[in-house]
Structure formats: structure tokens, C-alpha cells
């Protein structure tokens, strides 16, 4: 099947009918209503049974004109398929069905976990990131202030900033790493760490040295500092997302019960996810505000804010197909929650914890409810994961994966945009899950704060 398809694709590319990148990066999944036209010959769209199959595109007769297929963007904007002119013979485009709202993938089922890089152990690993530089290397973030890159079955130091990182608190340290979308050509990357004197969160940019194997600690350009009143709830996620903007998660400032009310105060950056334009920093490291940020022009609000009312969004990620932002917000005493994050929305803390009232005066109007919650029977600190878009585990495709740091349990759910359509406990592990990670193929990893890295495996 794949050989035949490959031959067809090769032929099409050779004919100039299809851009090679479009074939590799985006199996088009046109909605028939987008493709259909009221005149001329329509493309025939036939669902296929296996969601892993690439679409089959039957070439036009040599006197026909090819349809234009614009590939999906890296963040999953829908591909556009422009139908062939009406005088041409229409091609047959058989799309890959989307599980989300279209065709369901295989049902979720329990998975095992297995260790990867079995010879390696790290000191409190909290993040693992993969730049899009074609080298397919993973970079492990150690909380004390080091970044190491994985090389075969070994790891080498990439950056060491332990001299400026404060990791005295359990939730303090070097917490996040994001590679510039153009890392391949500009060698830039961004980190999130906590520092002392005063206690604060720091977002900084660094650059690699020759060979891309080390980074210069002296290349630091601080782009944002946020004072932190307490040691806990620092957030720590930093990620590039749609529009190549930089998204940063900040907790409510800490202590317990959000004593200073940061969660509901859009005049502070605490208790939020931010969206920054770092594409053209000035000499002072100043970022720009994307003009379509939701609170731009709102009196008293910080224009950096993308979403607020969050307690400690330790990990949030983007679905690489749809661009949706998924966040896991760590609860106070009762409920851990998963949120689908939309711009400008208020996720409730501390009026609500999860889907219940937290404050005595509880007006829930205008608050965004979680996609799901769990209580203390299942854990005590949620670690957000990813929507799985890999190929190793067909049953997991399109599901959001998340876990709990305290219990080691891992779950997956499918969401159709308004309700959870399927959910399962994927695995019951002994791990202290500090983070999940996603590589260039969409495959997922699980980080244990004890030092080891794991992945999922079909039950044997």
C-alpha cells in the first residue's frame, strides 16, 4: 500500500502537481463542503478505514489541471484545497479522516511504559525539548540550572547557568526551555528560571556557540523578569506556538489560596499565560506585544496576557495538528484540572478550584470551566502532557495525555470541542512525573523527577 502510494506521490511530485513538503507535512483532510463547488466536476472524497493511511490522490489525466494543495502550517491550521478549474477533470482526493469531530480513531487502551536512554540518569529533570533543526537531538533541563543534550546513549552539557539559578524551593529552578522557530539558522533559544535578590522569575534568551553543541552562559539577554512573592507556584512553561509567538506560564505567586488575589487581577502577570513577540528584541531585550493579544487596549490589564485565572499552569502545550492550547492547572486542596485555553478567557482561580467554588463569594459567570478534573483519590499535582500525534501508538492518536506527579497515574482523553468523548487511565506508574515531552515525530516521553526518561509501549 505504502509503496504504491509512494510511487504515486513521486509521480505527482515529478509532474509538479504536488509540492513535496505538502505530501510530507500535511495529509490534507478537506471537508467535502470546502472542496465542493456547484459547478464543474467535483473531487470525489472517499473515507478510508485506517487513520494512519496517507491520503490517496489519483492523478489527473495529463490534459487536466492539478488542484492546489496548500500544506498545513506547523501549528495545524487547516490545509486549503483549491479545486481544479471546472473545465479540468477533477482529481480524486481521498482524505485521511480526522478523529476530532469526524472519524474516531481506535479506542483508547491501557499502555505500558518503558525506559529510554537506560544508561542515563539526570539530576531532577523537569523538561525535555527538541529543536526543529533536523538533528533530532533531545535537550534535557535539570532543575538546578543545566541543559544537556542526548547523543546516542550519552549526554553532554549544553548550558550551565547554575550560578544564577535559585533552586532552593521545590518548585524553583531552571524550569523551561524553548528553541527559537529559526533555531536552525539563528541558534537562539529561551529559558525560564527563578532567581534570588529579589525573588523573581526570569525569561532569557541565549545563543549557541559554533557547532551548536554548547551555549555561551555569557550570551544571556534577559527579556522579562516577574517578581515572585513566594517560592511556590512559579509556572515555568515556555513554548513557541501559533504565529511563532512565545507563550509563558506563570503561577499565582504562591503561598496557598492566592492571598494577594493575583489569579483574578489582570493588572499583574501572575496567574496567567502570556503571549510575547520576541522576533525582534531591541538592545535592551524588550519584546513586542502581538497586536491581537486579547487584552490589548483593556484598561488596567497587562497586554501580554493570553489567558488568566490560573493557579499554577506548570505545563501547557499545543496540539501540533489543531494549534489548540491544552493546560493543566495544579489545584489547591481538592481538584486538579485540564483546560483547553482560549485567548482572553478567565480560568476561574481563585473563585473556583476545578469545577467547584473555592471562594465563599462565588460568582461563576464568565468563568471558563475545565475540560476535566480529578480529586485526591487520583493524585495531588497534575502534570500536563500533549495531544498525541505520533505513529507508534495508533490507539492514542488525537488524545490528550496527562499525569499526576504524586500518584504516577497517567490518563488520556478525547474531546470533541464541547465534551469529553472518551477517557481512560492509560498507566499506573511509580514515576514522579515532572513533565512530558514530544519529539519531532510526535512521539511522547515521560520524565521522572528521580532522573529517568520513559516512553509508552503497547502492553506486552
| Residue 337 beta carbon to Ca ion: minimum distance, rounded to whole angstroms | 5
Which of the stretches 184-192, 265-273, 341-349, 396-404 binds Ca ion when contact is defined by CB under 5 A?
Answer: 341-349
Contact 317, 326 (CB under 8 A): yes
**What DSSP string describes 88-135?**
SPPPEEEPPPPTTTT---SPP--EEEEEESTT---SSEEEEE--SSSS
- Residue with smaller CB distance to Ca ion, 71 or 313: 313
- Residue with smaller CB distance to Ca ion, 258 or 304: 258
Q: Which helix (H) or strand (E) holds 2?
A: helix 2-15
* Residues 72-111, mask of contacts with Ca ion (x by CB under 5 A): ----------------------------------------
- Residue with smaller CB distance to Ca ion, 347 or 386: 347
- Residue with smaller CB distance to Ca ion, 120 or 345: 345
| Residue 346 beta carbon to Ca ion: minimum distance, rounded to whole angstroms | 9
348 binds Ca ion (CB under 5 A): yes
Phi/psi for 185 (5° steps) reads -105, -30
| Residue 295 beta carbon to Ca ion: minimum distance, rounded to whole angstroms | 18
Which of the stretches 185-193, 233-241, 250-258, 340-348 binds Ca ion when contact is defined by CB under 5 A?
Answer: 340-348
Which residues sit opposite 44 in a β-bridge? 92
215 burial (CB, 10 Å; 0-12 / 13-18 / 19+) is buried
Q: How would you classify the pairing of strands 400-404 and 409-415? A: antiparallel
- Residue with smaller CB distance to Ca ion, 121 or 364: 364
Report CA Rg, the chain. Answer: 23
313 binds Ca ion (CB under 5 A): no
Which of the stretches 31-39, 253-261, 266-274, 339-347 binds Ca ion when contact is defined by CB under 5 A?
Answer: 339-347
Peptide bond between residue 445 and the one before it cis (omega within 30 degrees of 0): no
Residue nearest to Ca ion (CB): 348
| DSSP-assigned letter for residue 259 | T
3-state secondary structure of 395: helix
* CA angle (321 as vertex; 318, 325 as ends), nearest 5: 20
Contact 346, 309 (CB under 8 A): yes
| Residue 280 beta carbon to Ca ion: minimum distance, rounded to whole angstroms | 34
Neighbours of 368 (CB within 10 A): 18
- Residue with smaller CB distance to Ca ion, 245 or 349: 349
Which residues sit opposite 29 in a β-bridge? none
Kindly list the distances between the CA atom of residue 96 and the CA atoms of 2, 28, 34, 107, in Å, as whole numbers in the listed order: 14, 7, 15, 17
| Residue 272 beta carbon to Ca ion: minimum distance, rounded to whole angstroms | 12
The torsion angle over the Cα atoms of residues 60, 62, 67 and 73, rounded to 10 degrees, is: 90
Please tell me the count of residues contacting Ca ion according to CB under 5 A. Answer: 2
347 binds Ca ion (CB under 5 A): yes
| Residue 267 beta carbon to Ca ion: minimum distance, rounded to whole angstroms | 19
| Residue 333 beta carbon to Ca ion: minimum distance, rounded to whole angstroms | 14
Phi/psi for 20 (5° steps) reads -60, -40
- Residue with smaller CB distance to Ca ion, 258 or 448: 258
- Residue with smaller CB distance to Ca ion, 27 or 347: 347
| Residue 353 beta carbon to Ca ion: minimum distance, rounded to whole angstroms | 7
Which of the stretches 8-16, 259-267, 347-355, 437-445 binds Ca ion when contact is defined by CB under 5 A?
Answer: 347-355
- Residue with smaller CB distance to Ca ion, 83 or 348: 348
Q: Which residues bind Ca ion (CB under 5 A)?
A: 347-348
Amino acid at each position: 500500500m505504502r509503496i504504491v502510494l509512494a510511487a504515486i506521490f513521486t509521480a505527482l511530485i515529478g509532474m509538479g502537481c504536488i509540492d513535496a513538503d505538502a505530501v510530507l507535512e500535511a495529509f490534507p483532510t478537506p471537508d467535502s463542503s470546502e472542496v465542493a463547488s456547484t459547478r464543474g466536476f467535483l473531487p470525489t472524497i472517499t473515507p478510508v478505514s485506517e487513520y494512519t493511511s496517507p491520503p490517496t490522490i489519483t492523478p489527473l489525466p495529463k490534459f487536466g489541471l492539478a488542484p492546489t494543495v496548500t500544506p498545513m502550517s506547523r501549528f495545524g491550521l487547516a490545509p486549503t484545497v483549491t479545486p481544479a478549474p471546472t473545465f479540468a477533470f477533477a482529481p480524486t482526493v481521498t482524505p485521511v479522516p480526522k478523529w476530532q469531530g469526524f472519524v474516531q480513531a481506535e479506542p483508547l487502551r491501557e499502555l505500558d511504559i518503558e525506559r529510554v536512554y537506560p544508561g542515563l540518569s539526570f539530576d531532577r529533570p523537569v523538561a525535555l525539548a527538541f529543536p526543529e533543526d533536523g538533528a533530532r537531538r533531545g535537550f534535557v533541563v535539570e532543575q538546578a540550572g543545566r541543559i544537556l543534550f542526548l547523543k546516542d546513549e550519552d549526554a553532554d552539557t549544553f548550558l550551565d547557568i547554575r550560578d544564577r539559578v535559585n533552586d532552593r524551593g521545590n518548585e524553583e529552578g531552571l524550569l523551561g526551555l524553548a528553541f527559537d522557530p529559526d533555531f536552525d539558522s539563528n541558534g537562539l533559544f529561551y529559558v525560564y528560571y527563578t532567581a534570588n535578590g529579589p525573588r523573581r522569575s526570569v525569561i532569557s534568551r541565549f545563543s549557541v556557540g559554533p557547532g551548536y553543541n554548547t551555549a555561551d552562559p555569557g550570551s544571556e539577554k534577559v527579556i522579562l523578569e516577574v517578581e515572585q512573592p513566594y517560592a511556590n507556584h512559579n509556572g515555568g512553561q515556555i513554548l513557541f506556538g501559533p504565529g511563532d509567538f512565545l507563550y509563558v506560564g506563570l503561577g499565582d505567586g504562591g503561598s496557598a489560596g492566592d492571598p494577594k488575589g493575583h489569579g483574578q487581577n489582570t493588572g499583574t502577570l501572575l496567574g496567567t499565560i502570556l503571549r510575547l513577540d520576541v522576533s525582534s528584541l531591541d538592545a535592551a531585550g524588550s519584546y513586542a506585544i502581538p497586536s491581537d493579544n486579547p487584552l490589548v487596549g483593556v484598561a488596567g490589564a497587562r497586554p501580554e496576557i493570553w489567558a488568566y485565572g490560573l493557579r499554577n499552569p506548570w505545563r501547557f502545550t499545543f496540539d501540533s495538528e489543531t494549534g489548540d492550547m491544552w493546560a493543566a492547572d495544579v489545584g489547591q486542596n481538592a481538584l486538579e484540572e485540564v483546560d483547553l485555553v482560549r485567548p482572553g478567557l478567565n480560568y476561574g482561580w481563585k473563585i473556583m478550584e476545578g469545577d467547584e467554588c473555592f471562594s465563599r463569594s462565588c460568582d461563576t459567570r464568565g468563568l471558563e470551566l475545565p475540560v476535566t478534573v480529578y480529586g485526591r483519590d487520583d493524585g495531588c499535582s497534575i502534570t500536563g502532557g500533549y495531544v498525541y500525534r505520533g505513529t507508534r501508538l495508533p490507539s492514542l492518536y488525537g488524545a490528550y495525555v496527562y499525569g499526576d506527579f504524586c500518584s504516577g497515574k497517567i490518563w488520556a482523553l478525547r474531546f470533541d470541542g464541547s465534551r469529553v468523548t472518551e477517557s481512560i487511565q492509560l498507566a499506573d506508574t511509580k514515576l514522579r512525573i515532572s513533565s512530558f515531552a514530544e519529539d519531532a515525530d510526535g512521539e511522547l516521553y515521560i520524565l521522572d523527577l528521580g532522573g529517568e526518561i520513559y516512553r509508552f509501549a503497547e502492553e506486552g
